[in-house]
Amino acid sequence: MNHLLIIGGSDAGISAALRARELDRSVDITVVLADNFPNFSICGLPFYLSGEVSDWQNLAHRTIAELADHGIRLLLNHTARVVDPANKVVTIDEPERKSLKLQYDRLVIATGAVPIAPPIPGLHLQGVYSLRTMADSFAVYRHLERADTRSVVILGSGYIGMEMADALTLRDLDVTVVGRSSTIFKTVDAQLGLMVEDELRRHGVKVAAGVAVERISQNGRRLVVSGTQGLRIEADMVLVSAGVVPSTELARSAGIGMGYQGAIGVNRRMETNVSDIYSAGDCVETWHCLLKQSTYLPLGTTAHKQGRVAGENAVGGNREFAGSLGTQVVKIFDLAVARTGLRDTEADGAGFQPRTVELTAFDHKVYYPGAHPLRIRITGDHQTGLLLGAQIVGHYKAEVAKRIDIFATALFHGMHVEDLNDLDLSYTPPLGSPWDPVQMSAQKWMRSE
Amino acid sequence: MNHLLIIGGSDAGISAALRARELDRSVDITVVLADNFPNFSICGLPFYLSGEVSDWQNLAHRTIAELADHGIRLLLNHTARVVDPANKVVTIDEPERKSLKLQYDRLVIATGAVPIAPPIPGLHLQGVYSLRTMADSFAVYRHLERADTRSVVILGSGYIGMEMADALTLRDLDVTVVGRSSTIFKTVDAQLGLMVEDELRRHGVKVAAGVAVERISQNGRRLVVSGTQGLRIEADMVLVSAGVVPSTELARSAGIGMGYQGAIGVNRRMETNVSDIYSAGDCVETWHCLLKQSTYLPLGTTAHKQGRVAGENAVGGNREFAGSLGTQVVKIFDLAVARTGLRDTEADGAGFQPRTVELTAFDHKVYYPGAHPLRIRITGDHQTGLLLGAQIVGHYKAEVAKRIDIFATALFHGMHVEDLNDLDLSYTPPLGSPWDPVQMSAQKWMRSE
């Protein structure tokens, strides 16, 4: 093992490189990336565009110099085109359009994902953007800086859509979110989605839910978004955030088999079905701890973990990816919205008998100033009592994120709902209750039997 | 089973009553308590004295009316004196000094703890207080309201001492903390104790650590605290908070066997060695999950859990107390200080081979405004890799409390340090990192091998 070649310089690729280096001081490590922004925090783009992060360079988890210090060779602005697994060679486009062939002993494909382009006319008009790369980000930023940019329509009410609604409102823009589902932010139950909708409206964002966009057209210098239910909005800019699909062309060139919904197929060692080729991050299918099967859950946390496993195994280790629970949190104005595990509908499909109970409880003793209500939805299996999932919405300073992590840690260990009451959790009146709201929700679930 | 008699109306007693009622709608439940403040949040007293809680009545977890609605009979201002287990009768002093005999089928002793009176002269001088009951609290409050109360000496640098230093500073009093140990707040390692000391000083509190108080004396209307190292402080008030000891007289009257360090001996069903008598809360020994033996850890969270178990078993249930990890958090000015599990010295004594590593990491991505450093000390067993404990100090709005709870949940399941990296924890740049600081500390521990 002399040369570890990694295609992709974002979370999964860089994690693989760092882990490999940590375990093997002598291996040559090359990371090939299509732009010159290795190890950038894609999740941070909304906060750059909002103005909260003043210098985009701060979005780098590590600088190029820091990566070089780890003895990682970076090929910036290089795009890998074809893998020849028989000869262990990757053909790569150099910046000057010349072509380079790189030999590898082990290869990690971490090509990430690309935004979904919804099948509507007008996506290529000036002023229509998606948000995935630093280049996207700079283009949006330039447009936002123009004095005549006053209104934006966001297509899609997922994570990026919600964060961008927050970010652009902070810039004093007139923002409208258009979503296809009947309640927005459908990664959580509709009851909580309505809370998010209220929070958006409270901050002046207009919301059109249950609407299908049919086209984007131009009206002079402005754009017009039109769709079902008489939707017609004029705006200076349109942001398309309709989710992502795995970027798999390179893997296909190597004859690698695909897995769940067209993502690259991998086992839990992050090996593809082609020898000496690993894959990790937003381009691969992801093992789900509860479903006990692969799914597609492109998340930065998962990309880091999978990259780390791929890097470790690529230099001779023997580690398995433990799996995902789909744990997620997002800040939307003053709210944190978090989830882990399965919701009713998801659990139903997987053969469970889910029951979900909702509780509203304060984050700390209400007699101490500044208590915020938390809305917790807890899902368990009616028959076995197994904890299946949880969702929490509350003020973003009310420890929503780390409370969902208590649930996530419990789920990781296959806890039963009832046993959450046995957890020895911390308490002081300014920060909690003798029974944490996590446990109160478990008690309510038990009583609802 | 007709009559469940519970002695003690604080956390453990009321939890037992509520759980018994939840499971058995017909049983008669009587709670006997020595004052008329059932179900008050003792942990909330400092916040009443600071002025943050404007009405002391808000400190009640539930009102008397709410408890009555559950069909719980309360005997206020009644003090149980003697238990006759052969005849299943408890002799109780009524308010008017008459005596009452109450029959029971099952008895729960939840008599709590009393403050330690250090062996020094002067404890009974006017202006010297301890803080445990509502009556204590009212007495302190009245003294604080006097215009000539300008300075306070706090003896003891544990939880209550720290919280009262914060509370009284908020009232613009001149506060000095005197502690016997070389660094204050010795429930955490000295490195973190020094941070607490800095935080106190930053808010104007004077700290004398490593000093033994020898006497309290009077100088006109003022008090003088003197001790080793030339300690001599004049003040208008002295607060003694030197810890608590279990209140066991009633149990002794029943011939119940004592356990760890003089606390009431119980099994994990919260049964004493006398038939049909249960005990729970600050008066009993507490099973420790990691030590696999009983210890004394009087905490409100534990009292709730033990009381719940006692109440359940008293009406025919069959539940075991899962055990404590000593999980605790306290807010001291702007800091939250939290711990769970064992520290080096404690683990050493229990046959482990502990190694502790410290990490400073930001609570969220530093590019997003408002990031706070967290200092995390993680302890694992050198030989087996088993997680043994963790301590965190950081801003109290930086999710310190629920991060210690992630560790606590991991400890509950006997996780290895390395496996913390497998946990699927939530992330968004304003609230975390792709690897949570909890996981970063685990990674640092692994690298330190």
Model pLDDT, residue B205:
98
**Alpha-helix runs per DSSP H in B27-158:** 45-49, 64-69, 134-145
User: Which chain A residues are within 8 Å of B447, Cβ to Cβ?
Assistant: 22
Model pLDDT, residue B394:
98
Q: Which of B43, B300, B413 sits opposite A413 (nearest CB)?
A: B413
What is the pLDDT averaged over residues B227-237?
97
Considering only CA atoms, which of A84, A43, A80 is closest in space to residue A61?
A43
449 residues of chain A, pLDDT tens digit each? 799 999 999 999 999 999 999 999 999 999 999 999 999 998 999 999 999 998 999 999 999 999 999 999 999 999 999 999 999 999 999 988 789 999 999 999 999 999 999 999 999 999 999 999 999 999 999 999 999 999 999 999 999 999 999 999 999 999 999 999 999 999 999 999 999 999 999 999 999 999 999 999 999 999 999 999 999 999 999 999 999 999 999 999 999 999 999 999 999 999 999 999 999 999 999 999 999 999 999 999 999 999 999 999 999 999 999 999 999 999 999 999 999 999 999 999 899 999 999 999 999 999 999 999 999 999 999 999 999 999 999 999 999 999 999 999 999 999 999 999 999 999 999 999 999 999 999 999 999 97
DSSP B255-287: TPPB-GGGSBP--TT-B-SSTTEEE-STTB-EE
**Alpha-helix runs per DSSP H in B106-222:** 134-145, 159-170, 190-202
User: Which chain B residues are within 8 Å of A338, Cβ to Cβ?
Assistant: 426
Instruction: Return the amino acid letter for A323.
Output: G
Q: Which among A405, A435, A439 is the top mutation candidate for probing chain B, defined by the most B β-carbons within 10 Å of its own β-carbon?
A: A405
Q: Which residue has the higher pLDDT, B95 or B417?
A: B417
Model pLDDT, residue A96:
84
Q: Which among B43, B55, B321, B425 is the top mutation candidate for probing chain A, defined by the most A β-carbons within 10 Å of its own β-carbon?
A: B425
What is the pLDDT averaged over residues B158-171?
96
Instruction: Return the amino acid letter for A105.
Output: D
Give the burial class of B176: count Cβ atoms within 10 A of its Cβ; 0-12 exposed, 13-18 middle, 19 or more buried.
buried
User: Which chain A residues are within 8 Å of B449, Cβ to Cβ?
Assistant: none
- The answer to whether the Cβ–Cβ distance between A365 and B41 falls below 8 Å is yes
Looking at the annotation, which residues of B are catalytic?
43
Q: What is the pLDDT of residues A241-279, one digit of tens each?
A: 999 999 999 999 999 999 999 999 999 999 999 999 999
Contact present, B253 and B81 (Cβ < 8 Å): yes
User: Which chain A residues are within 8 Å of B308, Cβ to Cβ?
Assistant: 421
Angle of helix B159-170 relative to helix B190-202, nearest 10 degrees?
20
**Alpha-helix runs per DSSP H in A274-398:** 300-314, 344-349
Q: What is each CA distance from A397 to A85, A205, A331, B342, B429, in whole angstroms?
A: 50, 22, 10, 29, 14
B128: pLDDT confidence band, cut at 50, 70 and 90? very high
What is the pLDDT averaged over residues B7-34?
97
Model pLDDT, residue A176:
98
Contact present, A368 and A431 (Cβ < 8 Å): no
Question: Does this complex have an ipTM over 0.90?
Answer: yes
Q: Which residue has the higher pLDDT, B158 or B97?
A: B158
Contact present, A43 and A61 (Cβ < 8 Å): no
Q: What is the pLDDT of residues B52-93, one digit of tens each?
A: 998 999 999 999 999 999 999 999 999 999 999 999 999 999
Report the chain B residue with the minimal C-alpha distance to residue A436.
Answer: B301
CA distance linking residue A426 with residue B331, whole number of Å: 12
Model pLDDT, residue B449:
75
Report the chain A residue with the minimal C-alpha distance to residue B55.
Answer: A367
Cβ partners under 8 Å of residue A278, min gap 6: A16, A106, A107, A108, A109, A266, A269, A270, A271, A272, A310, A313, A314
The Cα of B83 is separated from the nearest Cα of chain A by a number of Å equal to: 30
Instruction: State pTM to two decimals.
Output: 0.97
Q: Which of B41, B308, B432 sits opposite A429 (nearest CB)?
A: B41
B31: pLDDT confidence band, cut at 50, 70 and 90? very high
- The residue behind tokens 């478990």 is A442
Contact present, B320 and B269 (Cβ < 8 Å): yes
Q: What is the pLDDT of residues B294-353, one digit of tens each?
A: 999 999 999 999 999 999 999 999 999 999 999 999 999 999 999 999 999 999 989 999
The Cα of B340 is separated from the nearest Cα of chain A by a number of Å equal to: 8
Report the chain A residue with the minimal C-alpha distance to residue B340.
Answer: A426
- The answer to whether the Cβ–Cβ distance between B336 and A431 falls below 8 Å is yes
For chains A and B, CB pairs below 8 A equal 210
Model pLDDT, residue B270:
98
The Cα of B342 is separated from the nearest Cα of chain A by a number of Å equal to: 13
Position B97 pLDDT exceeds 90: no
